[in-house]
Amino acid sequence: GRSVGIGAYLVRLGQRIIQMKQGPIILTGFAALNKLLGREVYTTNDQLGGLEIMYPNGVTHLEVDNDREGVDAILEWISFVPEKVGAPPA
């Protein structure tokens, strides 16, 4: 799902970002920004933090269709971490 506000900051602190195709990463929603700007500039949250924005800009490293695909990707990435500090990768 989407990640909003402080959750979006926490997502970005990670070394690898996995984003669902239908889950924008945003600090605030499009309606709040439109209100602040005084006119309708944005019509969806995807325009602010959707995959088409985050992936080309290097924020998102992998896109997935669902949570299960995301968990599978995490487990694959973790499999490359050595069991002990200084050991060669698995």
Q: Is the pTM of this model over 0.85?
A: no
Residue 19 burial (10 A CB sphere; 0-12, 13-18, 19+): buried
Answer whether residue 9 shows pLDDT above 70: no
Question: Which is more confidently placed, 10 or 22?
Answer: 22
Look at the block and give the residue holding tokens 């990670």. Answer: 14
Predicted pLDDT of residue 28: 87
Confidence of residue 83 (pLDDT cuts 50, 70, 90): confident
Predicted pLDDT of residue 56: 92
Interval 18-73: pLDDT, tens: 999 988 988 889 999 999 999 999 999 999 999 999 999 888 999 999 999 999 99
